[in-house]
Structure 1
Amino acid sequence: MSLAANTADTAQTAASAVKADVQNQVTQSVSALDQLKEFLLNHGPDVIYAIIIFIIGRYIAKGFKNVAIRMMTHANYDHTVITFVSQMIYYAIMALVILSALNKAGIPTNSFLAAFGAFGLAVGLALQNNLSNFASGLLILIFKPFKAGDWVSIGGVEGSIKGIQMLNTAVITKDNKTVFIPNSIITSNQVINSSYQDERYISFLFDIGYDNDHHKAIAILKDIFQSDKRILNADTMEIGIKEFADNSVRIAAYPKVANADYLPVFYDTMSRVKDAFDAGGIDIPFPQRVVYVREEKKEN
């Protein structure tokens, strides 16, 4: 009997423990549901607003990313640079969106902001020059002082723009050398873009001798310009004596041509002027110097 009683007591004790455990779990579940209910009642609208901020912010980030891709593609950026920069813009905006959503939901973001600020300061100090070049590249993309294929002169380097990259701009010179110019130098120096306008003036300066008839020389030049159909202002072109130099009379002329005809007209005109001056007896002087030799008398 004692054995049976002990077994019954043990079973009753186990049943009581299970019942107590179930009641405890039910109580905890009810408590958790009450807490969730209270949280939703107190912060439900903020959570909904946070979700809305995240969704709208994500679309805005994608929009800025697509705009950056179009701008850099139009400026002939390298595909790798386009991917890197666009992704960086997207994640930077998304970081701000997530912080804004968390703050709206009632989650403290001060620690996140402090961490991002410290990280940004460290990166900025380490990459100061590169960040300056990157910001200058964005300014070039926005204001477009030149584009790929334009003929420019920057800081003594003259050539055709090959591409605007993240940190520098590639220029192909006349002798087919590639010069990489940091973007910060471009935005802080004078840029001469010879391809910006559809038409250009050619600045000619012809020297003739003082013994030559300048009226005849000017008439020869006008005939040459008027016979060239590529010159757009042959009848109204500015031409005349510009100055009296040490060894010559200088005649200036400013024909206007299409941008694509600049060099062909320049070379053709120089050749035709040389032939016409030779045929017309017009001298093209060269620098001269008169040297007097004095013979000293020898003493006896």
Structure 2
Amino acid sequence: MDENLLRNTAQLGNDVTGWITNNQELIISYAVNLTAALLIILIGSMVIKFATNSLNRVLKKRKVDPTIANFVTSLIKYGLLAFVIIAALGRVGVQTASFVAIVGAAGLAVGLALQGSLSNFAAGVLLIGFRPFKAGDYIEAAGTGGTVESVQIFTTIMKTPDNRVIVVPNSNILSGNIVNYSQEPQRRIDLVIGISYTADLLKTKQVLQKIVDADERILKDPACNISVNELGASSVDLIVRPWVNSADYWAVRWDLLEKIKNELDNHGIGIPYPQMDIHLIREEKA
């Protein structure tokens, strides 16, 4: 039994040795081609990384919007990577023409299965083309809000004021309304201040105007509008609408609300709250 095993093992070794001896040129050729293919992928990846990083730096140095710069370099990166892979496959003997046809057919099938991803890609191209917002803008879109970090091939990255990162599919953004709070340099603050019906209306408007005039961050042009907006159920509602630079919006809004409350209290002007009158009727016993 052991002798037969040794004999078979020796015969197998001789066969392998003979095959290697007879096919040395073929083995060397495959080894060279495989090594060359690996070098093509390795060197190609390094060149692509260097080229895309250099292009990104050049675009940003020329003050191209970072959103566009990142999107363009991503497209170029993946396009060049596909070219490198095809070149490596061609080096190892794969018929690239047939491979491209197979990839095309597979791409069609994958495209039908990944319609959502393709729509995200198309939406990303449209977002870059029409530019409803840019990196650094604060927007509301797809049911969420945040500062735009970047627009990538399939998604848009946003960061909320409390430092949460939100990844939103591009098609979701493009399919709904987009509110850009940063596009215009100035914004209007809309406040509704309710005062008691017994309060002096003229005095109240003078107090509000004095508060607005004292804040240097509030713009003089356009002028602030202070008017009676509505005679409510329990209060006279005044609107206070000053204009500020977009960067000062929230700071001015918060400061105004605090100052208005303090000054109205100092001048004895009441800020009412909803009230209900209850009438009690006593019925006499028969």
Q: 1:197 to 1:294 in 2, by over 3 A?
A: same
- 1:266 maps to 2:257: no
User: Deviation string for 1:109-132 (max 9, x for gaps)?
Assistant: 9x9997675344212102110010
CA contact (8 A) 2:65 2:135 kept: no
Q: CA deviation at 1:176?
A: 2.6
Residue aligned with 1:251, SS: strand
Provide the residue aligned with 2:77 in structure 1: 87
Structure 2 CA distance for partners of 1:73 and 1:213, relative to 1, 3 Å:
closer
Aligned position for 1:201: 188
Name 2:173's counterpart in structure 1.
186
State the alpha-carbon separation in 1 of the partners of residues 119 and 81 from structure 2: 20
Determine the structure 1 residue equivalent to 2:215.
228
* Structure 1 residue 165, shift from structure 2 partner: 2.1
Aligned position for 1:75: 67
For structure 2, the residue ranges without an aligned partner over 5 or more in a row are 1-50, 85-96
Deviations 1:82-116 (CA, angstroms, capped at 9, x unpaired): 6552234458899xxxxxxxxxxxxxx9x999767
Residue 254 of structure 1 aligns to which amino acid in structure 2?
R
Shift of 1:224: 0.8
**Cα distance in 2 for residues equivalent to 1:168 and 1:153:** 15
Contact persistence 1:222–1:234 (CA under 8 A): no
How far did 1:220 drift?
0.6
In structure 2, how many angstroms separate the alpha carbons of the residues matched to 1:83 and 1:77?
6
Identity of matched residues, %: 35
Q: Distance in 1 between matches of 2:120 and 2:252?
A: 38
- Structure 1 counterpart of 2:9: none
State the SS of the aligned residue for 1:132.
Answer: helix
Can you list the C-alpha shifts for 1:150-192, whole angstroms capped at 9, x where unaligned? 1111233122222222212122223332222211011111111
TM-aligned CA distance change 1:296 to 1:182, over 3 Å: farther
Deviation sequence 1:222-274 (CA, Å, 0-9, x none): 11111111111278322201111111111112111111111111111111111
CA shift in 2, pair 1:251/1:113, >3 Å: same
Tell me if the contact between 2:264 and 2:270 (Cα under 8 Å) persists in the aligned partners: yes
**Structure 1: 5+ residue stretches without partners:** 1-61, 95-108
Q: What's the TM-score, normalizing by structure 2?
A: 0.66
Going from structure 1 to structure 2, the CA distance change for 1:139 and 1:291 (only over 3 Å counts) comes to: same
C-alpha distance in 1 between matches for 2:231 and 2:140: 30
Counterpart residue type for residue 118 of structure 2:
L
Aligned to 2:244: 257
Map 1:7-156 → 2, pairs under 5 A: 70=59, 74-75=66-67, 84-89=74-79, 118-156=105-143
SS at match of 2:157: strand
Corresponding letter in the other structure for 1:152: I
1:294–1:164: structure 2 CA closer, same or farther, 3 Å change rule? farther
Q: 1:93/1:210 Cα in 2 relative to 1: closer, same or farther (>3 Å)?
A: farther
Taking only aligned residues, the RMSD between alpha carbons, in angstroms, comes to 3.4
**Structure 1 residues 282, 190: closer, same or farther in 2, change over 3 A?**
same
CA distance in 1, matches of 2:185, 2:65: 23
Residue-by-residue CA offset, 1:205-234 (whole Å, 9 max, x unaligned): 111111111111111111111111111127
- Is the CA contact 1:234–1:255 (under 8 Å) kept in the aligned structure 2? no
Matching residue's letter, 1:181:
V
Name the structure 2 match of 1:170.
157
